[in-house]
Amino acid sequence: FQIIKEVTGLSDLDQIVKRFESQGETLRNLNNLRDKAEEQCQELRKQRDALRQEFEELKYSGETELESVNQVMRQHEEEAQAEAERRVKCQQNVEDANRLLIECKTGVDHIYDKLSFLSVKAAKSTEHFIEDGKEVEQNIDNSDIPEMLKICNNKLDELMDSLNDVNIEEQLNLIEQEEFFSKLDNKLPENNMRIQFPNVKNEGGPDDDDGGADDNDVLTRTALKKQAQQIVEMRNKKRQTKKKRRRN
């Protein structure tokens, strides 16, 4: 009893009994509070588990959605890259086509200028057309390449038709002879003059025409040989003069 009095700090027995009774009530209240706290903790644990599961589900679905978005983005980036490459390729093709078109136009202009000495009588779409019985020149736009090609084609057709009765080999031989004589004239010294042979009139009958042509060919060949011989002699003289100067 003495120990109880020391612990409780009370000396009266009734007070000690009341104190113990009140302690029992306090214990019951504490037990009730403990039970309620445990119930709340259990409920909070359930809520925590539910929220954690929801978080995991949202996290998984978010990752899946993010991966899907990233995949769509990568697909669009690849498509954009492919379109950019195709655009560059198309631009290069356009530049090549423009370059080819310019070259074609230049070539057509060159051919058109080369054939400008020819006059074609054709429909109204060509360079010349007939109006009231007179040939009238029609202005052609230089940018109209198909029209210029049509004109060149008509001119070439008419030119080929006009060359049907012409001896092409004979004309080529004459051109080669003229070019050869022109080169000889450029190489000859200024004090050297070409000898002009007089034209020999043919006093014979019609049967002598072939003979006159042969005589002209002989004269041409003779003059050619003489001029060539003169050039060789002039070169030999120059070489001999140079050798003498070197010896002296």
Nearest to 147 by CA among 119, 123, 169, 178: 123
Q: Is residue 111 part of a domain?
A: no
Return mean pLDDT, the chain: 72
Cβ neighbors of 191 (< 8 A, separation 6 or more) are none
pLDDT tens-digit readout, 40-56: 999 999 999 999 888 88
Cβ atoms within 10 Å of 151's Cβ, excluding its own: 25
pLDDT for 80 equals: 93
Q: Which domain holds residue 194?
A: 168-248
Q: Is residue 19 part of a domain?
A: yes
Q: Is residue 112 part of a domain?
A: no
Q: Is residue 31 part of a domain?
A: yes
Least confident of 4-8, 119-123, 230-234: 119-123
Q: Is residue 80 part of a domain?
A: yes
Mean pLDDT of the region 196-220: 47
Domain end call among 87, 107, 136: 87
Domain end call among 51, 66, 87: 87
Highest mean pLDDT of the ranges 76-85, 130-139, 155-164, 188-197: 76-85
Q: How far apart are the first and last CA of the chain?
A: 166
Number of domains in the chain: 2
Q: 238 vs 24, which has greater pLDDT? A: 24
* Distance of alpha carbon 173 from the chain centroid: 46
Amino acid making up residue 90: C
Domain end call among 30, 56, 87: 87
Query: What are the C-alpha distances in Å from 157 to residues 154, 170, 172?
Result: 5, 22, 20
pLDDT band at residue 206 under the 50/70/90 scheme: very low
Q: Is residue 10 part of a domain?
A: yes
Q: Is residue 181 part of a domain?
A: yes
Rounded distance between C-alpha atoms, residue 104 and residue 116, angstroms? 18
pLDDT for 89 equals: 95
pTM: predicted TM-score of the whole model, two decimal places: 0.38
pLDDT for 36 equals: 92
Q: Is residue 213 part of a domain?
A: yes
